A = this chain, B = another copy of it.
Amino acid sequence: MSQEDVEAAYEFDQQAVLKELRAILGSDSIITDPAGLKPYECDGLTAIREEPWVVVVPENEAQVIAVVDVCRHAGVPLVPRGAGTGLSGGARPRADGVVLSLARMNRILEIDPLNCTARLQPGVRNLAISEAVAELGLYYAPDPSSQIACSIGGNVAENSGGVHCLKYGLTVHNVVGLRVLTSEGDLLTIGGSVLEAPGFDLLALLCGSEGMLGIVTEVTVQLLPKPPEVIVMLGAFADAENCGQAVADIIGHGVIPAGMEMMDKLAIQAAEQFAHAGYPLDAGAILLIELDGTAEEVAAVGETVEHLLKRSGASHVEIAVDPEAQQKLWKGRKSAFPAVGRLAPDYYCMDGTIPRRRLADVLRRIDELSQEYDLPVANVFHAGDGNLHPLILFDANIPGQLEATEEMGGRILELCVQMGGTVTGEHGVGIEKLNQMCVQFNALELSQFFAVKDAFDPAGILNPGKGIPTLTRCGELGGMHVRQGDLPFADIERF
Protein backbone atom coordinates (compact mmCIF):
# COMPACT_ATOMS: atom_id res chain seq x y z
CA MET A 1 0.00 0.00 0.00
CA SER A 2 1.09 3.59 -0.46
CA GLN A 3 2.68 5.43 2.43
CA GLU A 4 0.01 8.10 2.12
CA ASP A 5 -2.95 5.77 2.61
CA VAL A 6 -2.33 5.62 6.34
CA GLU A 7 -3.81 9.09 6.66
CA ALA A 8 -6.98 8.11 4.81
CA ALA A 9 -9.81 6.20 6.48
CA TYR A 10 -9.92 2.42 6.01
CA GLU A 11 -13.18 1.17 4.50
CA PHE A 12 -14.53 -2.32 5.08
CA ASP A 13 -17.80 -4.11 5.86
CA GLN A 14 -18.00 -3.46 9.61
CA GLN A 15 -20.90 -5.85 10.25
CA ALA A 16 -19.24 -8.72 8.41
CA VAL A 17 -15.92 -8.22 10.25
CA LEU A 18 -17.68 -7.94 13.61
CA LYS A 19 -19.47 -11.23 12.91
CA GLU A 20 -16.15 -12.95 12.16
CA LEU A 21 -14.50 -11.52 15.27
CA ARG A 22 -17.38 -12.69 17.45
CA ALA A 23 -16.98 -16.17 15.98
CA ILE A 24 -13.33 -16.18 17.11
CA LEU A 25 -13.65 -14.56 20.53
CA GLY A 26 -15.85 -15.14 23.56
CA SER A 27 -18.38 -12.36 24.18
CA ASP A 28 -16.29 -11.04 27.09
CA SER A 29 -13.27 -10.76 24.77
CA ILE A 30 -14.79 -8.22 22.40
CA ILE A 31 -15.85 -4.70 23.39
CA THR A 32 -18.11 -2.48 21.30
CA ASP A 33 -20.18 -0.45 23.79
CA PRO A 34 -19.14 3.18 24.45
CA ALA A 35 -18.68 2.64 28.20
CA GLY A 36 -16.44 -0.36 27.59
CA LEU A 37 -14.46 1.47 24.88
CA LYS A 38 -13.84 4.53 27.08
CA PRO A 39 -10.63 3.24 28.77
CA TYR A 40 -9.13 2.55 25.34
CA GLU A 41 -9.57 6.09 23.98
CA CYS A 42 -5.95 6.95 24.73
CA ASP A 43 -2.78 5.62 26.29
CA GLY A 44 -0.45 7.59 28.61
CA LEU A 45 -0.60 10.50 26.14
CA THR A 46 -3.98 11.48 27.57
CA ALA A 47 -4.23 14.81 25.76
CA ILE A 48 -5.11 13.06 22.50
CA ARG A 49 -8.22 10.83 22.45
CA GLU A 50 -10.24 8.85 19.91
CA GLU A 51 -12.95 6.24 20.43
CA PRO A 52 -11.88 2.94 18.81
CA TRP A 53 -14.33 1.10 16.59
CA VAL A 54 -13.82 -2.24 18.43
CA VAL A 55 -11.50 -3.58 21.15
CA VAL A 56 -10.56 -7.26 21.25
CA VAL A 57 -8.87 -8.92 24.23
CA PRO A 58 -7.71 -12.38 23.10
CA GLU A 59 -6.74 -15.01 25.65
CA ASN A 60 -4.24 -16.98 23.59
CA GLU A 61 -1.97 -16.89 20.55
CA ALA A 62 -4.43 -18.87 18.41
CA GLN A 63 -7.03 -16.12 18.87
CA VAL A 64 -4.44 -13.44 18.01
CA ILE A 65 -3.61 -15.30 14.79
CA ALA A 66 -7.31 -15.61 13.89
CA VAL A 67 -7.98 -11.91 14.59
CA VAL A 68 -5.03 -10.89 12.40
CA ASP A 69 -6.27 -13.14 9.57
CA VAL A 70 -9.72 -11.53 9.68
CA CYS A 71 -8.26 -8.01 9.72
CA ARG A 72 -5.80 -8.73 6.88
CA HIS A 73 -8.49 -10.18 4.63
CA ALA A 74 -10.89 -7.30 5.29
CA GLY A 75 -8.21 -4.60 5.39
CA VAL A 76 -8.93 -3.48 8.96
CA PRO A 77 -6.25 -1.46 10.76
CA LEU A 78 -5.01 -3.07 14.00
CA VAL A 79 -3.65 -1.11 16.95
CA PRO A 80 -1.80 -3.47 19.33
CA ARG A 81 -1.95 -2.38 22.99
CA GLY A 82 -0.12 -3.54 26.09
CA ALA A 83 -0.94 -1.84 29.40
CA GLY A 84 -1.61 1.50 27.70
CA THR A 85 1.01 3.34 29.77
CA GLY A 86 2.96 4.55 26.72
CA LEU A 87 3.61 8.31 26.68
CA SER A 88 3.84 9.00 22.94
CA GLY A 89 0.44 7.74 21.76
CA GLY A 90 1.72 4.53 20.18
CA ALA A 91 -1.48 2.79 21.28
CA ARG A 92 -3.81 5.66 20.35
CA PRO A 93 -6.79 3.92 18.69
CA ARG A 94 -8.44 4.65 15.32
CA ALA A 95 -12.17 5.21 14.79
CA ASP A 96 -11.87 2.89 11.79
CA GLY A 97 -9.83 0.19 13.49
CA VAL A 98 -9.55 -2.60 16.03
CA VAL A 99 -7.54 -2.24 19.25
CA LEU A 100 -5.81 -5.57 19.96
CA SER A 101 -5.21 -5.65 23.72
CA LEU A 102 -2.69 -8.24 24.90
CA ALA A 103 -3.53 -7.60 28.57
CA ARG A 104 -5.01 -11.06 29.14
CA MET A 105 -1.98 -12.90 27.77
CA ASN A 106 -0.08 -12.34 31.00
CA ARG A 107 1.36 -15.73 31.96
CA ILE A 108 4.99 -16.42 32.79
CA LEU A 109 5.60 -19.44 30.56
CA GLU A 110 9.04 -20.57 31.70
CA ILE A 111 11.86 -19.56 34.02
CA ASP A 112 15.33 -21.00 33.30
CA PRO A 113 17.46 -20.35 36.41
CA LEU A 114 20.61 -21.90 34.89
CA ASN A 115 20.50 -19.88 31.70
CA CYS A 116 19.06 -16.85 33.56
CA THR A 117 16.17 -16.31 31.15
CA ALA A 118 12.39 -16.10 31.42
CA ARG A 119 9.88 -16.79 28.64
CA LEU A 120 6.84 -14.54 28.96
CA GLN A 121 3.52 -13.72 27.35
CA PRO A 122 3.43 -10.08 26.21
CA GLY A 123 0.96 -8.97 28.91
CA VAL A 124 3.24 -9.85 31.84
CA ARG A 125 3.88 -6.72 33.92
CA ASN A 126 7.47 -5.48 34.01
CA LEU A 127 7.68 -5.62 37.82
CA ALA A 128 6.04 -9.06 37.94
CA ILE A 129 9.12 -10.51 36.20
CA SER A 130 11.52 -9.42 38.94
CA GLU A 131 9.03 -10.47 41.63
CA ALA A 132 8.75 -13.95 40.10
CA VAL A 133 12.52 -14.57 40.05
CA ALA A 134 13.45 -12.71 43.27
CA GLU A 135 13.79 -15.93 45.25
CA LEU A 136 16.37 -17.12 42.71
CA GLY A 137 18.45 -14.01 43.40
CA LEU A 138 17.70 -12.72 39.90
CA TYR A 139 15.92 -9.67 38.46
CA TYR A 140 14.96 -8.03 35.15
CA ALA A 141 16.97 -4.80 34.74
CA PRO A 142 14.93 -2.29 32.67
CA ASP A 143 12.63 -0.41 35.06
CA PRO A 144 10.50 2.32 33.48
CA SER A 145 8.74 4.58 36.01
CA SER A 146 5.55 2.77 35.03
CA GLN A 147 7.02 -0.64 35.88
CA ILE A 148 4.20 -1.54 38.28
CA ALA A 149 1.70 -1.35 35.42
CA CYS A 150 3.51 -1.51 32.07
CA SER A 151 3.80 -4.83 30.20
CA ILE A 152 6.85 -6.51 28.69
CA GLY A 153 5.15 -6.48 25.27
CA GLY A 154 4.72 -2.73 25.51
CA ASN A 155 8.31 -2.39 26.72
CA VAL A 156 9.46 -4.20 23.55
CA ALA A 157 7.21 -2.02 21.36
CA GLU A 158 8.67 1.20 22.81
CA ASN A 159 12.15 -0.16 23.65
CA SER A 160 11.63 1.18 27.17
CA GLY A 161 14.47 2.21 29.43
CA GLY A 162 14.38 3.34 33.02
CA VAL A 163 16.67 4.71 35.70
CA HIS A 164 19.05 1.75 35.34
CA CYS A 165 19.49 1.78 31.56
CA LEU A 166 22.75 3.72 31.87
CA LYS A 167 24.50 0.56 33.08
CA TYR A 168 22.10 -2.19 32.03
CA GLY A 169 20.77 -0.91 28.74
CA LEU A 170 17.33 -0.51 27.21
CA THR A 171 14.80 -3.28 26.57
CA VAL A 172 16.65 -4.26 23.37
CA HIS A 173 19.76 -5.06 25.43
CA ASN A 174 17.81 -7.30 27.83
CA VAL A 175 15.55 -9.24 25.46
CA VAL A 176 17.06 -12.35 23.85
CA GLY A 177 14.10 -13.79 22.00
CA LEU A 178 10.72 -12.90 20.50
CA ARG A 179 7.79 -14.74 18.95
CA VAL A 180 6.26 -12.34 16.45
CA LEU A 181 3.20 -12.55 14.22
CA THR A 182 3.39 -10.57 10.97
CA SER A 183 0.26 -9.20 9.32
CA GLU A 184 0.72 -11.97 6.72
CA GLY A 185 0.03 -14.46 9.50
CA ASP A 186 3.63 -15.65 9.66
CA LEU A 187 4.74 -16.57 13.17
CA LEU A 188 8.47 -15.84 13.46
CA THR A 189 10.89 -16.97 16.15
CA ILE A 190 13.50 -14.25 16.48
CA GLY A 191 16.65 -14.57 18.59
CA GLY A 192 16.69 -17.33 21.15
CA SER A 193 18.17 -17.89 24.58
CA VAL A 194 21.61 -16.38 23.94
CA LEU A 195 22.45 -12.76 23.21
CA GLU A 196 24.13 -13.48 19.86
CA ALA A 197 22.05 -14.41 16.83
CA PRO A 198 23.01 -14.88 13.15
CA GLY A 199 21.17 -13.28 10.25
CA PHE A 200 19.85 -9.74 10.16
CA ASP A 201 19.20 -8.36 13.64
CA LEU A 202 15.40 -8.51 13.46
CA LEU A 203 15.25 -8.55 17.25
CA ALA A 204 16.71 -5.05 17.45
CA LEU A 205 14.50 -4.00 14.54
CA LEU A 206 11.37 -5.19 16.37
CA CYS A 207 12.35 -3.52 19.66
CA GLY A 208 10.94 0.00 19.44
CA SER A 209 8.90 -0.71 16.31
CA GLU A 210 5.69 0.34 18.11
CA GLY A 211 3.52 -2.49 16.79
CA MET A 212 4.09 -1.45 13.17
CA LEU A 213 6.01 -4.56 12.06
CA GLY A 214 4.40 -7.40 13.95
CA ILE A 215 2.51 -8.47 17.05
CA VAL A 216 4.70 -9.88 19.80
CA THR A 217 3.15 -13.04 21.26
CA GLU A 218 6.11 -14.14 23.40
CA VAL A 219 9.18 -12.46 24.88
CA THR A 220 12.27 -14.19 26.31
CA VAL A 221 14.22 -11.87 28.60
CA GLN A 222 17.71 -12.06 30.08
CA LEU A 223 17.72 -12.04 33.89
CA LEU A 224 20.62 -10.69 35.92
CA PRO A 225 21.95 -11.78 39.31
CA LYS A 226 20.97 -9.27 41.99
CA PRO A 227 24.07 -7.25 42.83
CA PRO A 228 25.31 -8.23 46.31
CA GLU A 229 25.72 -4.61 47.37
CA VAL A 230 23.94 -1.35 46.49
CA ILE A 231 24.33 2.23 47.72
CA VAL A 232 22.43 5.35 46.70
CA MET A 233 24.10 8.76 46.86
CA LEU A 234 22.53 12.19 46.69
CA GLY A 235 24.58 15.21 45.60
CA ALA A 236 23.08 18.67 46.02
CA PHE A 237 24.25 21.59 43.85
CA ALA A 238 23.56 25.33 43.75
CA ASP A 239 22.85 25.16 40.00
CA ALA A 240 22.44 22.78 37.07
CA GLU A 241 25.82 23.87 35.65
CA ASN A 242 27.88 22.25 38.42
CA CYS A 243 25.55 19.29 38.51
CA GLY A 244 26.13 18.69 34.80
CA GLN A 245 29.87 18.98 35.38
CA ALA A 246 29.70 16.29 38.06
CA VAL A 247 27.95 13.97 35.60
CA ALA A 248 30.71 14.53 33.02
CA ASP A 249 33.44 13.98 35.63
CA ILE A 250 31.96 10.72 36.89
CA ILE A 251 31.50 9.23 33.41
CA GLY A 252 34.87 10.63 32.32
CA HIS A 253 36.47 8.87 35.28
CA GLY A 254 35.31 5.55 33.86
CA VAL A 255 32.61 5.00 36.48
CA ILE A 256 29.28 3.67 35.14
CA PRO A 257 26.72 3.99 37.95
CA ALA A 258 23.69 1.66 37.94
CA GLY A 259 21.66 4.86 37.73
CA MET A 260 22.37 8.59 37.65
CA GLU A 261 19.33 10.88 37.77
CA MET A 262 19.18 14.67 37.79
CA MET A 263 16.32 16.88 38.98
CA ASP A 264 16.05 20.67 38.83
CA LYS A 265 14.69 23.08 41.48
CA LEU A 266 11.02 22.88 40.51
CA ALA A 267 11.14 19.07 40.25
CA ILE A 268 12.92 18.82 43.62
CA GLN A 269 10.33 20.96 45.36
CA ALA A 270 7.37 19.15 43.82
CA ALA A 271 8.81 15.71 44.60
CA GLU A 272 9.70 16.68 48.17
CA GLN A 273 6.21 18.01 48.95
CA PHE A 274 4.73 14.84 47.50
CA ALA A 275 7.09 12.09 48.69
CA HIS A 276 9.01 13.62 51.62
CA ALA A 277 12.20 12.05 50.30
CA GLY A 278 14.35 14.42 52.33
CA TYR A 279 15.61 16.38 49.33
CA PRO A 280 17.34 19.71 50.12
CA LEU A 281 14.76 22.38 49.18
CA ASP A 282 17.43 25.05 48.75
CA ALA A 283 19.27 23.12 46.04
CA GLY A 284 19.19 24.31 42.41
CA ALA A 285 19.73 20.75 41.21
CA ILE A 286 20.34 17.31 42.69
CA LEU A 287 22.00 14.18 41.37
CA LEU A 288 20.87 10.74 42.55
CA ILE A 289 23.49 8.07 41.95
CA GLU A 290 23.08 4.34 42.50
CA LEU A 291 26.18 2.13 42.63
CA ASP A 292 26.00 -1.67 42.66
CA GLY A 293 28.39 -4.60 42.62
CA THR A 294 30.42 -6.52 45.18
CA ALA A 295 30.74 -4.93 48.62
CA GLU A 296 34.43 -4.11 48.05
CA GLU A 297 33.71 -2.65 44.61
CA VAL A 298 30.84 -0.44 45.81
CA ALA A 299 32.81 0.86 48.78
CA ALA A 300 35.76 1.70 46.53
CA VAL A 301 33.76 3.37 43.76
CA GLY A 302 31.59 5.16 46.33
CA GLU A 303 34.63 6.97 47.70
CA THR A 304 35.68 8.01 44.19
CA VAL A 305 32.21 9.34 43.35
CA GLU A 306 31.90 11.25 46.63
CA HIS A 307 35.24 12.90 45.89
CA LEU A 308 34.15 13.83 42.34
CA LEU A 309 30.82 15.24 43.53
CA LYS A 310 32.52 17.50 46.06
CA ARG A 311 35.21 18.51 43.57
CA SER A 312 32.58 19.74 41.12
CA GLY A 313 30.89 21.83 43.79
CA ALA A 314 28.33 19.65 45.58
CA SER A 315 27.23 21.63 48.66
CA HIS A 316 26.04 18.44 50.32
CA VAL A 317 26.51 14.69 49.71
CA GLU A 318 24.33 12.04 51.36
CA ILE A 319 24.91 8.29 51.20
CA ALA A 320 22.05 5.83 51.79
CA VAL A 321 23.23 2.35 52.74
CA ASP A 322 20.16 0.64 54.18
CA PRO A 323 17.29 -0.26 51.83
CA GLU A 324 14.68 1.98 53.53
CA ALA A 325 16.87 5.07 53.18
CA GLN A 326 17.58 4.12 49.54
CA GLN A 327 13.90 3.61 48.71
CA LYS A 328 13.12 6.97 50.32
CA LEU A 329 15.61 8.75 48.04
CA TRP A 330 14.32 6.90 44.95
CA LYS A 331 10.67 7.49 45.93
CA GLY A 332 11.07 11.20 45.26
CA ARG A 333 12.48 10.58 41.78
CA LYS A 334 10.02 7.85 40.86
CA SER A 335 7.05 9.98 41.92
CA ALA A 336 8.40 13.13 40.26
CA PHE A 337 5.90 12.99 37.38
CA PRO A 338 2.72 12.75 39.49
CA ALA A 339 4.25 15.17 42.00
CA VAL A 340 4.88 17.80 39.34
CA GLY A 341 1.43 16.97 37.99
CA ARG A 342 -0.07 18.37 41.21
CA LEU A 343 1.41 21.79 40.50
CA ALA A 344 -0.93 22.37 37.57
CA PRO A 345 -4.15 20.92 36.11
CA ASP A 346 -2.20 19.34 33.25
CA TYR A 347 1.39 18.54 32.36
CA TYR A 348 3.13 17.40 29.19
CA CYS A 349 6.09 15.05 29.62
CA MET A 350 8.74 15.51 26.94
CA ASP A 351 11.40 12.96 26.02
CA GLY A 352 14.53 13.85 24.10
CA THR A 353 18.17 12.85 24.12
CA ILE A 354 21.19 15.13 23.93
CA PRO A 355 24.95 14.64 24.05
CA ARG A 356 25.83 14.86 27.77
CA ARG A 357 28.19 17.80 27.23
CA ARG A 358 25.30 20.01 25.98
CA LEU A 359 23.37 19.53 29.24
CA ALA A 360 23.85 23.02 30.66
CA ASP A 361 23.18 24.75 27.28
CA VAL A 362 19.96 22.82 26.76
CA LEU A 363 18.67 23.54 30.27
CA ARG A 364 19.35 27.25 29.72
CA ARG A 365 17.48 27.24 26.39
CA ILE A 366 14.54 25.36 27.94
CA ASP A 367 14.39 28.01 30.66
CA GLU A 368 14.27 30.71 27.97
CA LEU A 369 11.44 28.89 26.16
CA SER A 370 9.61 28.53 29.48
CA GLN A 371 9.72 32.31 29.89
CA GLU A 372 8.82 32.96 26.23
CA TYR A 373 5.68 30.80 26.46
CA ASP A 374 5.03 31.69 30.11
CA LEU A 375 4.70 27.99 30.95
CA PRO A 376 6.61 26.53 33.92
CA VAL A 377 8.92 23.57 33.18
CA ALA A 378 10.27 21.02 35.64
CA ASN A 379 13.30 19.01 34.47
CA VAL A 380 13.83 15.40 35.48
CA PHE A 381 16.26 13.25 33.58
CA HIS A 382 18.54 10.31 33.11
CA ALA A 383 21.72 12.39 33.29
CA GLY A 384 24.10 9.55 32.52
CA ASP A 385 22.78 8.98 29.03
CA GLY A 386 21.55 12.51 28.32
CA ASN A 387 17.89 11.49 28.20
CA LEU A 388 15.90 14.61 29.07
CA HIS A 389 12.35 14.66 30.49
CA PRO A 390 11.14 18.26 30.70
CA LEU A 391 7.60 18.46 32.15
CA ILE A 392 5.64 21.43 30.82
CA LEU A 393 2.90 22.58 33.21
CA PHE A 394 -0.31 23.97 31.71
CA ASP A 395 -4.09 24.19 32.05
CA ALA A 396 -6.03 22.68 29.14
CA ASN A 397 -9.08 24.66 30.22
CA ILE A 398 -7.36 27.95 29.44
CA PRO A 399 -7.98 28.47 25.69
CA GLY A 400 -4.78 28.15 23.69
CA GLN A 401 -2.61 26.67 26.45
CA LEU A 402 -2.69 23.11 25.07
CA GLU A 403 -1.64 24.41 21.64
CA ALA A 404 1.06 26.60 23.18
CA THR A 405 2.32 23.63 25.19
CA GLU A 406 2.47 21.39 22.11
CA GLU A 407 4.30 24.07 20.15
CA MET A 408 6.79 24.64 22.95
CA GLY A 409 7.27 20.88 23.29
CA GLY A 410 8.00 20.65 19.58
CA ARG A 411 10.60 23.40 19.89
CA ILE A 412 12.29 21.61 22.80
CA LEU A 413 12.62 18.45 20.69
CA GLU A 414 13.95 20.41 17.69
CA LEU A 415 16.45 21.98 20.10
CA CYS A 416 17.59 18.45 21.04
CA VAL A 417 18.21 17.65 17.36
CA GLN A 418 20.07 20.93 16.80
CA MET A 419 22.30 20.04 19.78
CA GLY A 420 23.22 16.75 18.07
CA GLY A 421 20.65 14.70 19.95
CA THR A 422 17.41 12.97 19.01
CA VAL A 423 13.68 13.56 19.38
CA THR A 424 13.14 10.50 21.51
CA GLY A 425 14.93 8.86 24.40
CA GLU A 426 12.78 6.02 25.65
CA HIS A 427 9.14 6.97 25.10
CA GLY A 428 8.96 6.26 21.38
CA VAL A 429 7.57 8.35 18.53
CA GLY A 430 3.96 7.18 18.45
CA ILE A 431 1.85 10.07 17.16
CA GLU A 432 3.40 12.64 19.49
CA LYS A 433 6.67 13.05 17.61
CA LEU A 434 5.68 12.51 13.98
CA ASN A 435 6.48 16.13 13.11
CA GLN A 436 9.84 16.00 14.86
CA MET A 437 10.70 12.89 12.82
CA CYS A 438 10.60 15.19 9.79
CA VAL A 439 13.37 17.16 11.48
CA GLN A 440 15.40 14.10 12.37
CA PHE A 441 15.18 12.30 9.02
CA ASN A 442 15.08 13.24 5.35
CA ALA A 443 12.74 11.90 2.65
CA LEU A 444 15.10 9.07 1.61
CA GLU A 445 15.46 7.84 5.18
CA LEU A 446 11.72 7.98 5.89
CA SER A 447 11.07 6.11 2.63
CA GLN A 448 13.51 3.44 3.79
CA PHE A 449 11.54 3.11 7.05
CA PHE A 450 8.36 2.59 5.00
CA ALA A 451 10.14 0.01 2.83
CA VAL A 452 11.10 -1.91 5.98
CA LYS A 453 7.50 -1.69 7.25
CA ASP A 454 6.25 -3.05 3.92
CA ALA A 455 8.66 -5.98 4.29
CA PHE A 456 6.79 -7.04 7.45
CA ASP A 457 3.34 -5.57 6.85
CA PRO A 458 2.59 -5.46 3.11
CA ALA A 459 -1.12 -5.18 3.93
CA GLY A 460 -0.38 -1.98 5.85
CA ILE A 461 -2.79 -2.81 8.68
CA LEU A 462 -0.39 -2.77 11.66
CA ASN A 463 -0.71 0.47 13.64
CA PRO A 464 -0.86 2.68 10.51
CA GLY A 465 -0.10 6.37 11.01
CA LYS A 466 2.27 5.82 13.95
CA GLY A 467 6.02 6.11 14.22
CA ILE A 468 6.85 7.30 10.70
CA PRO A 469 5.49 10.56 9.24
CA THR A 470 4.26 10.46 5.66
CA LEU A 471 6.35 12.45 3.17
CA THR A 472 3.31 14.62 2.50
CA ARG A 473 3.12 15.58 6.17
CA CYS A 474 6.84 16.38 6.22
CA GLY A 475 6.48 18.27 2.96
CA GLU A 476 3.87 20.52 4.56
CA LEU A 477 6.24 21.01 7.50
CA GLY A 478 9.24 21.26 5.17
CA GLY A 479 10.29 24.54 6.74
CA MET A 480 11.09 22.70 9.96
CA HIS A 481 13.86 20.76 8.35
CA VAL A 482 17.20 21.80 9.86
CA ARG A 483 19.61 19.33 8.31
CA GLN A 484 21.89 20.47 5.53
CA GLY A 485 22.37 18.97 2.10
CA ASP A 486 19.24 16.87 2.19
CA LEU A 487 16.66 16.32 -0.49
CA PRO A 488 14.05 19.05 0.18
CA PHE A 489 10.67 17.61 1.08
CA ALA A 490 9.08 19.71 -1.64
CA ASP A 491 10.92 17.49 -4.12
CA ILE A 492 9.24 14.17 -3.34
CA GLU A 493 7.74 13.33 -6.74
CA ARG A 494 9.98 10.26 -6.95
CA PHE A 495 8.23 8.68 -4.00
Contact = CB atoms under 8 A, between A and B. Distances in A.
Interface in A19-33: none
Contacts of A201: 159, 172, 201, 204-205, 207-208
Interface string A204-224: 110111000100000000001
A204 B213 CA distance: 16
A386 interface: yes
Given A253-B294, A301-B296, A354 B199 contact: no
Interface in A414-459: 420-426, 428-429, 433, 437, 440-442, 444-445, 447-449, 451-456
B420 A198 contact: no
Interface in A326-364: 353-357
Contact of A420 (B186, B193, B356): B193
B197 A422 contact: yes
Interface string A303-329: 110000000000000000000000000
Given A201-B208, A424-B198, A187 B455 contact: no
A448 B182 contact: yes
A13 interface: no
Interface string A78-115: 00000000000000000000000000000000000011
Given A254-B227, A422-B194, A451-B455, A440 B199 contact: yes
A255 interface: yes
Interface in A341-395: 353-357, 385-387
Interface in A452-492: 452-456, 467-468
Given A193-B420, A444-B186, A455-B451, A225 B254 contact: yes
Interface residues of A, number: 84
A225 B255 CA distance: 10
Interface in A206-251: 207-209, 213, 224-228, 251
Contact of A449 (B199, B227, B385, B440): B199
A296 B421 CA distance: 34
A202 B451 CA distance: 12
A357 B437 contact: no
A400 interface: no
A293 interface: yes
Nearest to A186: B444
A188 interface: yes
Interface in A162-218: 170, 172-173, 182, 186-190, 192-202, 204-205, 207-209, 213
A228 B199 contact: no
A299 interface: yes
A300 interface: yes
A353 to B, nearest CB: 4
Contacts of A399: none
Interface string A51-80: 000000000000000000000000000000
B294 A300 contact: yes
B454 A192 contact: no
B437 A448 contact: no
Contacts of A293: 254-255, 301
12 contacts: A115-B357, A194-B354, A194-B420, A196-B385, A196-B425, A198-B433, A199-B468, A200-B452, A202-B448, A225-B254, A294-B301, A297-B301
Given A202-B205, A451-B455, 6 more contacts: A193-B420, A194-B354, A194-B420, A200-B453, A297-B300, A448-B456
